[in-house]
Structures are given as structure tokens and as C-alpha cells.
Chain A
Amino acid sequence: MYGLPYTGHSFLAHLVVIAVAQIRNVYSFFKSGILDQCSQK
């Protein structure tokens, strides 16, 4: 989308999407870790 005019609006909206995706990644990482530990026990 290079060159397309953008403002702080879509910029912040896309930044929020990245933040949510990162939180989901961290959550699923810990969740899978806990599930692994439970299954080992």
C-alpha cells in the first residue's frame, strides 16, 4: 500500500491489530506450555 495516503487513524488502527496479534501469540505460547506440563504430569 506504499504511497497510499494514510492518517493517524488507520495507522493507530493497524498498530492495535499488531498489538492484539502479539498478545494472542504470547497467550497461546503460555497456554500450550501449561497444557504440555499438565499432559506430562
Chain B
Amino acid sequence: MPKIAAVVPAFNEEKTLGNTLNSLLHIFSHKDIYVISDGSTDGTAAKAREYTENVLDEFQNRGKMKSLNYLIQSFSLTERYDYILFVDADTTVAFDFLEQVTPLLTDDTACIVGQIISRSHNFLTFYRKIEYFIGQEIYKKSQSSLGIITVAPGCSSIFNTRCLKEIDFSNPTLAEDLDMTIQIYRKNLGKIKYCSQARVYTQDPATFRDFYNQIKRWHCGWFQCLKRYRVPFGWTRFDLEALYLTSEGVIYGFLTLGLPWLIFKYPQLTLMGILADFSIFFLFTLYISYRNNIYRYLPLVPLYYVLKMLQSIIYIRCLCFSRNHLWRKVRRY
């Protein structure tokens, strides 16, 4: 059995950290759980100490990637453990998470990615449920079979410590998980696999403002990383997948921006295109409603479709201004 540690970076997460650590205590000994409070001004560190003695309470906010590195170095985790599970402080881990990922932990594996499930709260979190399902069960699953997973999410991934030793944490971007993923490919550190049976449950934005800020951060982080690691000019399979997804997003964004003109110029063709795209989206919403036995948000499918289009416009905005984004904390509930 490999030695595995759980690492939780937290910034003002007093409200949700207890649930996270409680879920971890079902599958880890308290000695193997490590928490860093990254310049928190609430009772995050005190809350963490109720569950484990391995707590670092930093006065200065360093950002997620640097604080993770500081925690790993402080406790010599890469020397003492074979694998490290990173969990966000708003995320709980399923009790069978380790049972599911352990068979996949082989020497050539750099990272195993679990499935993120959005906790039900309101109509916006339900929209995220749809996005996660499509993003993971369709895109990530197919990327996994080709060995080109584009992002190993920071809240549901377990990393080989051999590979963590090679990762540069010193110059972080807005999307630290994407940064680490691309480094794995660029440095040939091993395979990244997706395990849909290994589940974590996360809290997603419940207001439009938080939703907008999170999407903006993800998109700006995506473009920052592409620029830093010169994607797609490595011309690997990962680069081609990133190029495909990025160019599709850019085309979709510009088509959305030009929608009024398209409807005016080619009304029939445009409406048919929208209808075809909407039909696929509707079928998935229907399926996810059925899976979760939640039907009350079905009448909101047109609103969700508009949200999807707005996201593509934010994407174009981030393509043009990816430097001007600051990290903003999502409000917990």
C-alpha cells in the first residue's frame, strides 16, 4: 500500500474547512492530513487544529501554489510519502476515494484525477453540475483514453511525489492546476489518468458575481498558461488538443458576439445552428436532471444556454485582457 498524504490549502475557510477535514478523517489518519492557512484573517487555523496537528498558520497570503510548496517543503512531504492528494477547503472527499484510485497508482503515473461533483444549492450550482458532467464524463474521459487530459483539477487530484519534486511552484499563474498539468507534459513526468469512480463534492458559486469572477479567473489562467508554455508549439498530442479546444472556443465566442449580425444576414442557417447546439445541451440537462432526480430547474434550460453563450464572450474578453485579472474569493454558504 503506497503512503499517501492529504494536503489542504485554505484562505479564510473557517466555514467549510470542518466538513473537508471530517471527510478526510474517514480515509486518512489525522497524522497524514496537512493544512496551510494562507494568511487567513478568520479562525481557519484554529478550526484546522481541531482535526490535525499538522497545521501551518501563515500571516502573509502567498497564493495557492506557493503556499502548497511551502507546506510540502516544511513537512518534507515528497520525501516521506509516495503520493499527495490535494483537496480544496470547500471540498469533501467520498469515503471510497482511495479504494478507487489505489489500483491506478503505478510507477509511470504522475497523477490521478477524480470526478468533481457540484453540491446542489440553487439554479446556478445546478448549471455547474451540467458543466462538470459534460466536462468530465465526455471530455475528460475521452482525453484520458488518449493520454491528453488538459487539466488535473486542484481539488480532486492525487500526485506522485516523484513528479512533484520536478514541478516549479515559484512563478504561479491564475490556474495553478493547469500550470502543474502542463509542466507534467512538458517535463515528461508520467501519465495523467481520470478515475470517474473517485469522487469529490465541491461548493460552487451561488451568485452571478462569484460565478463571473470564477469563470474569468479560469479563462485568464488558461490563456496565461498557454502563453507561458508556448502551447501549441510543443506539437505534442496535448498541444493539439489544447489548440483544438482553444480555437473552437474562440470561434464560438466570436460567433456569439456576431449573433445579431448573423441572424440579420442568414436567419434560417443561424437559427438551425443554434437549435442543433441547444438540442444537444437540452438532452444533457434532461439526463442530469434524471440522474439527480431534480426537475425543478428544467424550465431554466434557455437561461443556461444563454449563460453558456455569455461564458464564450467572457472567454474572448480574457483572450484580449488575460493579464488584468485579480484573484477574488468565492463567498461560501
- Interface residue ranges, A against B (CB under 8 Å): 1-11, 13-15, 17-18, 21
Contact = CB atoms under 8 A, between A and B. Distances in A.
B252 A7 contact: yes
Nearest to A22: B145
Interface string B123-140: 000001001101100111
Interface string B107-148: 000000000000000000000100110110011111101100
A15 B138 CA distance: 6
Given A14-B142, A17-B146, A5 B252 contact: yes
Nearest to B214: A3
Contacts of B222: 4
B126 to A, nearest CB: 15
Interface residues of B, number: 35
B128 to A, nearest CB: 8
A14 to B, nearest CB: 4
B242 to A, nearest CB: 9
9 contacts: A1-B150, A4-B135, A7-B248, A7-B277, A8-B276, A14-B139, A18-B142, A21-B142, A21-B145
A17 B139 CA distance: 9
Nearest to B246: A4
A3 B219 contact: yes
Interface stretch (B10-18, B22-30, B184-192, B308-316): B308-316
B151 interface: yes
Contacts of B150: 1
Give the interface SS of chain A, mostly helix, strand, loop or mixed: helix
B280 interface: yes
Interface string B215-254: 1001100100000000000000000000011101100110
Nearest to B217: A3
Contact of B142 (A8, A9, A17): A17
Contacts of B219: 3-4
Given A11-B134, A11-B280, A6 B248 contact: yes
Interface string B269-298: 000000011001000000000000000000
Interface in B57-100: none
Contacts of A4: 135, 218-219, 222, 245-246, 249, 315
A5 B249 CA distance: 5
B127 to A, nearest CB: 11
B222 to A, nearest CB: 7
Given A4-B222, A5-B252, A6-B248, A11 B145 contact: no
A2 B132 contact: yes
Q: Which of B134, B141, B145, B244 has the most CB of A within 10 A?
A: B145
